[in-house]
Amino acid sequence: MTFPIKDHEIFNNFSRSFFYICYRKIYLCSKYMKRLMKFNLYTHILIALFTCFICFSCKDDEHYTPISLSYIGEGTSPLSDNNTMTISPFNEGEPFHINGGNGIYTINNHTPEKIDYRYDGNVLTIIPISLGDATLSITDRVGNNFILNVTVAYPNTILNVNEIYAIVTGGELTQNQAKEIENSIINRSLVEKRGKYIFTYTNQSLTEGLVSVYPSETSSTALLGIFKQDKRTIDEEGISIHITLTEGSSYDYLLTYRVPDNRTETYPTVYLQQDVTEEYKGLYPNLDRAYRIQTIPGESR
């Protein structure tokens, strides 16, 4: 005998089936998500470890030599201690190659009012703008850094006096008179032995500028003035220099490799020769020529 199924029983059966299916789907989804999250965690850990390895490898400076500059211009390199240089404001620019690092450089000019630069990927050229101190930095993409300290200054020549002596000629002079003149010439020298002259050129042709005279080795204060020089053929005569000090006195010299007595010194000695004949002619009528000679053991810039 068949019993009819009631409506509410049908609904209950349907509900149980529907919720069971939903439960199974949710369960399977959650199980899948757990597996996926577990997989993603492992993946993230591997990615993080790989990234750290790459970062530490890139930052390891042992793979690259330090950044440095090498001079490729003519003459002597202006670099000293590898990262310091002095350049004349009359200079059109000094060229360098950048060495070391990873080869990809960023250049920063921290004092553009003092210097400028040009970099074409191969040659770095430092260009002076105005007098003073400047700084330029070069970095690469792995943290290497190089600092170049630049001083823009007028060029100068320093003449250190190594010896002072006199040349006196006059056939009618007595031996005592000649000795008196020689002693006076030496004692009245503007600069003593181990004193020095510093000539600072303020024009591009290097023919005039400022002079600082240190009368002795222990002088802490210089006698200041200006100078002009006439560059002639050094092999024939020399360079005439006229000095005028601020207190009014003036001096004329000849910077030369030759002196009237044909004295020879160890090369590259040069001589600062001063004709003082007129200073002594009045007291010693029989005097023919008198010179004050200062020996300079080479010319240094």
Per residue in 25-74, pLDDT (tens digit) is: 555 655 655 565 555 555 555 555 555 555 555 444 457 899 999 999 99
State mean pLDDT over 150-166: 95
pLDDT of residue 22: 55
Asked whether residue 8 carries a pLDDT value surpassing 70, the answer given is no
Among 89, 84, 85, residue whose Cα is nearest residue 154: 89
State mean pLDDT over 278-288: 94
Beta strand segments in the chain, E: 68-71, 79-80, 84-87, 94-99, 105-109, 115-119, 124-128, 132-140, 145-152, 156-160, 163-169, 196-201, 208-214, 223-231, 239-245, 250-256, 270-275, 289-296
pLDDT of residue 248: 94
Asked whether residue 11 carries a pLDDT value surpassing 60, the answer given is no
Residue 276 Ramachandran class (φ > 0 left, ψ -120 to 50 alpha, else beta): alpha
Per residue in 64-102, pLDDT (tens digit) is: 899 999 999 999 999 988 799 999 999 999 999 999 999
pLDDT of residue 175: 93
**The listed CATH number (2.60.40.1080, 3.40.309.10, 1.10.3720.10, 3.40.50.720) that belongs to domain 68-153:** 2.60.40.1080
Q: Which residue has the higher pLDDT, 237 or 248?
A: 248
Cα 292 to Cα 100: distance, rounded to the nearest angstrom: 54
SS3 assignment, position 213: strand
Share of the chain above pLDDT 90, in %: 67
pLDDT of residue 46: 58
pLDDT tier for residue 233 given thresholds of 50, 70 and 90:
low
Cα 149 to Cα 79: distance, rounded to the nearest angstrom: 10
State mean pLDDT over 17-26: 56
110: number of CA atoms within 13 Å, CB side?
11
Asked whether residue 150 carries a pLDDT value surpassing 90, the answer given is yes
pLDDT of residue 82: 79
Q: Which residues pair with 20 in a beta bridge?
A: none
Per domain, the residue ranges of the chain are: 68-153, 157-296
Per residue in 102-132, pLDDT (tens digit) is: 999 999 999 999 999 999 999 999 999 999 9
Average pLDDT of the residues of the chain: 83
* Six-digit token string for 94: 């000094």
Question: Which letter does DSSP use for residue 62 in this model?
Answer: G
Asked whether residue 24 carries a pLDDT value surpassing 50, the answer given is yes
pLDDT of residue 258: 77
Other Cβ atoms less than 10 A from the Cβ of 245: the count is 16
pLDDT of residue 7: 46
Question: Which letter does DSSP use for residue 257 in this model?
Answer: S
Among 296, 165, 161, residue whose Cα is nearest residue 216: 161
Question: In sequence order, which residues have a C-beta less than 8 Å from that of residue 296 and are 6 or more positions away?
Answer: 159, 160, 161, 162, 255, 269, 270, 271, 272
Share of the chain above pLDDT 70, in %: 73
pLDDT tier for residue 230 given thresholds of 50, 70 and 90:
confident
Handedness of CA 72, 77, 81, 87 (dihedral sign): negative
State mean pLDDT over 208-236: 88
Per residue in 171-184, pLDDT (tens digit) is: 899 999 999 999 99
